[in-house]
Amino acid sequence: MFIVNVEGAIHSDGKWLLIRRSEKEEHAGGLLSLVGGKCEIEGNSRDILERTLHREILEEVGIEVEVSKYVNSSSFVTDKDLNVIDIVFLCQHESGEAYAKSSDEVDEVIWMTTSEILSHSDAPDYLKENVELADVKL
């Protein structure tokens, strides 16, 4: 079975909101990332992807967003051999000032332009690809 993970490509004033993942994280610790997290088992429910994204963004960086468009999906295997489906949505910042609210998951919050992300050494290729795809949907 898969873990289902959702991420928000959060855009505001020409920049994307990224986090530097905590070194404590088992997957991609210390690297730049979009904000997001795993869906929890809820039984029968509606809008689980969108609700999970709102919850994770609020928990990790303390802001509210509008989820506007689907960007893409992919799958990967973690260092612990867990299979993950990752779904990215374009989001617009609505309210609040982003900060590293969850120190177990987030070391730093950074706003960057697309070109800054594409040239950053701590931005994995999958992050660069997701940002490029989200940028087209603005």
Q: 82: domain CATH number?
A: 3.90.79.10
pLDDT band of residue 27 (cuts 50, 70, 90) is low
Distance of alpha carbon 23 from alpha carbon 27, whole angstroms: 9
Number of domains in the chain: 1
pLDDT band of residue 25 (cuts 50, 70, 90) is low
Q: Which tens digits make up the pLDDT trace of 86-101?
A: 999 999 999 999 999 9
Q: Which tens digits make up the pLDDT trace of 78-133?
A: 888 999 999 999 999 999 999 999 888 899 999 999 999 999 999 999 999 999 99
Q: Print the domain residue range for 107.
A: 3-136
pTM of the predicted structure, to 2 decimals: 0.92
